[in-house]
Amino acid sequence: MKIPVGIPVFVAAAGTDPRFAKMVSRWLVCAGLWLLVASVVGLLEAVRLIDVEILADHAFLTFGRLRPVHTMTMLFGWASMALIGLAFYVVAKSTLLPMHAPLSRTELFLANLALALTNVGIAVGAVAMCMGDVNAGREYREWPWYAMAPVFAAVGICGVLFYRMVARRAVAGIYISCWFVMSACFWIAIVVLMGYQTIWKAGIPDRIIDGFYIHNAVGMWFTPLAVGMTYYALPKLLNKPIYSYALGVLGFFTHMVFYTVIGTHHYIFTPLPMALQTTAVICSVAMIVPVWASTGNFLMTMKGERLAISHSYSLPFLFVGVVGYGLASLQGTAESLRFVQEILHFTHYTVGHAHFAMYVFVTFLIWGCIYGLVPRMTGREPPILVVAVHFWLALGGIAVYVIGLSVGGHLQGNAWVAGEPGMESVRVVAPYMVWRAVGGLLMFVAHIFFFVALWRMRPGAFTMAYSGGKS
């Protein structure tokens, strides 16, 4: 029988409150559905950069409107919801709450309510943007305020729930995963408030907020949550302690200080205050410390576990995700340097970096945590062949995607420096738009396999039978 490394899953899952398992599973299944929706949209956009005539006669489906539908749905529908779902489980486990009732009835209701609110926000946001109500030029907050409001409320609810769970923990110490989860909920609330405030909405002040928003959204929400989940899942699956807890603490604090202030690296060579630009570049380099404190920590924990990794269906995802975190961030550091910015800014190379980071790092870690942890909660394992196909298609797809855009981005940037007329740089990247579409297609197929596996892990008869009499 296929068993994740460590204790058999059904022992781990026995006694788990089925209502809790269902709640977590709902977050994950909704995230999986949004992943499929956003992948279709992304694929459509990718294909359109090859042939513009596809669905071109509908104003509500134009490229400009669908692009934020793809990004917002991926970020807040897929990554955010999957991480929140996992966080419920990880916080409950790492605070040693009794798994037969980790949340009270009211708390469970609130968690489900938050789930509903998030889904409403994402759907409303997508429709509103297609109708033309788009917060243009404000990346990752293109939703009108009435779409962000329910999502904001949902994160607030979850933040309070996480805090309460930590507050009534059954151990003295607070595990590092909970540090990241609790803090991230506070950080993202501030980030969203800053993104939607109406005081600095014009001119250069607006762009200062914009740089802050873009990088704090990815850096103070997705990154800490993904890293926090890994701090729990990796030692758990390997059945050994994390290599160095102190390194984790160092990573937490340096992350908080450096990541907050690097936003202006999106606005190098602009009229934004020079002091902000320089701070951003210096701290982007300093980001090497928190990134490698975590990446190194994870890699050292995995050291000597090659056999375990190759025999598990979840650890390979975690391994790729950890390496992805280190490399994508190094790439980001390089991109922030002025001489690199001069050539690669505005090119497809940035889109390659965005996908490298959000996919090879965040998305692979989410998958690793889902495959590693969900069976321990529901007692049901995914079909191993489906997981294997998922892994290789996703890895192959993103490799084609990122390599294609990186090469294309370089050619694009060099054509610009050479002063080639506008159309030349469009022609030069054309072949790499095909690479991206092919890679994207492989990724999309991988996501279908993922969804099948996820569906097979949902709580079922087993969870009911072994739930200690409760149902």
Partner 1 sequence: MAINIHTSHRLLLALSAGTYLILVYLCAVWPAMVEQTAMEALPRPDHGELVARGREVYKSFNCVTCHTQQIRGDARRAYAVDDRVVVPVLEADARFGREVATRAEEYAWQDPVFMGTQRIGPDLSSTGRRLPESQWHYWHLYDPKSVSPGSVMPPHRFLFTSKEPSGDTSAYHEEVIVIAGLGVQGDRLWATPDAVALVEYILSLNREFLEVEGLGR
**Span near partner 1 by CB under 8 A; candidates 13-21, 58-66, 146-154, 398-406:** 58-66
Q: How far is 111 from 157, CA to CA, in rounded Å?
A: 7
Task: Give the footprint of partner 1 on residues 170-189 (CB under 8 A).
Answer: 172-174, 178-179, 182-183, 186-187
Report DSSP letters for 274-286, one per residue: HHHHHHHHHHHHH
Beta carbon of residue 453, minimum distance to ligand HEM (angstroms, whole number): 16
Residue closer to ligand HEC by CB (options 68, 248) is 68
Q: By CB under 6 A, tell whether 419 contacts ligand HEC.
A: no
How far apart are alpha carbons 107 and 111 in whole angstroms?
A: 6
Of 329 and 425, the one with the shorter C-beta distance to partner 1 is: 425
Q: Are 405 and 436 in contact (CB under 8 A)?
A: yes
90 lines the binding site for partner 1 (CB under 8 A): no
Under 8 Å between Cβ of 239 and 227? no
Closest distance of CB 426 from ligand HEC, Å: 5
Q: Please report how close the Cβ of residue 111 comes to ligand HEM at its closest, in angstroms.
A: 23
At its nearest, how many Å lie between ligand HEM and the CB of residue 233? 18
Segment 1 to 40, residues that bind ligand HEC, using CB under 6 A = none
Residue with smaller CB distance to ligand HEC, 371 or 416: 416
Residue 227 makes CB contacts below 8 A (sequence gap 6+) with 180, 251, 255, 294, 325, 365
- Minimal distance, residue 97 CB to ligand HEM, in Å: 29
Query: Tokens standing for 416?
Result: 């610009």
- Told to check if 422 binds ligand HEC by CB under 6 A, we report yes
The answer to whether 137 contacts ligand HEC (rule: CB under 6 A) is no
Cβ neighbors of 3 (< 8 A, separation 6 or more) are 9, 381
| Residue 351 in contact with ligand HEC, rule: CB under 6 A | no
Residue 426 as a binder of ligand HEC (CB under 6 A): the answer is yes
Which value, to the nearest 10 degrees, does the dihedral of the CA atoms of residues 262, 263, 265, 271 take?
-120
- Non-local (6+) Cβ contacts of 124 within 8 A are 143, 146, 147, 150
Give me 236's structure tokens.
Answer: 């758990």
Region of residue 138 (left: phi > 0; alpha: psi -120 to 50; beta: else): beta
According to the binding rule CB under 8 A, does residue 241 interact with partner 1? no
- Please, is 418 exposed, middle or buried when counting C-beta atoms within 10 Å of its C-beta (0-12, 13-18, 19+)? exposed
Q: How far apart are CB 298 and partner 1 at their closest, in Å? A: 21
Minimum CB distance to ligand HEC, residue 49 (Å) = 6
Q: Is 263 exposed, middle or buried (0-12, 13-18, 19+ CB in 10 A)?
A: buried
265 binds, among ligand HEC, ligand HEM, partner 1, none (CB under 5 to 8 A by kind): ligand HEM
Q: Is 63 in the site for ligand HEC (CB under 6 A)?
A: yes
What is the size of the binding site for partner 1 (CB under 8 A)?
90
The residue behind tokens 């937490």 is 252
431 in contact with partner 1 (CB under 8 A):
no
Q: Which two tokens stand for residue 456?
A: 């097979």
**By the rule CB under 6 A, 64 interacts with ligand HEC:** yes
Of residues 275 through 294, those in contact with partner 1 by CB under 8 A are: 275-276, 279
Measured distance CA(380)–CA(374) in Å, rounded:
8
Residue 49 binds partner 1 (CB under 8 A): yes
247 part of the interface to partner 1, by CB under 8 A: no
Choose the one of ligand HEC, ligand HEM, partner 1, none that binds residue 269, judging by a C-beta under 5 to 8 angstroms depending on kind. partner 1
53 touches partner 1 (CB under 8 A): yes
Question: Could you say which of 199, 417, 423, 461 contacts ligand HEC (CB under 6 A)?
Answer: 423
Q: Which two tokens stand for residue 259?
A: 């990541």
Q: Select the span of 75-83, 136-144, 324-332, 390-398 touching partner 1 (CB under 8 A).
A: 136-144
444 to 463: interface string for partner 1, x by CB under 8 A: --------------------
- CA-CA-CA-CA torsion for 375, 381, 387, 388, nearest 10 degrees? 110
Measured distance CA(217)–CA(386) in Å, rounded: 32
Q: Which is nearer to partner 1, 88 or 391 (CB)?
A: 88
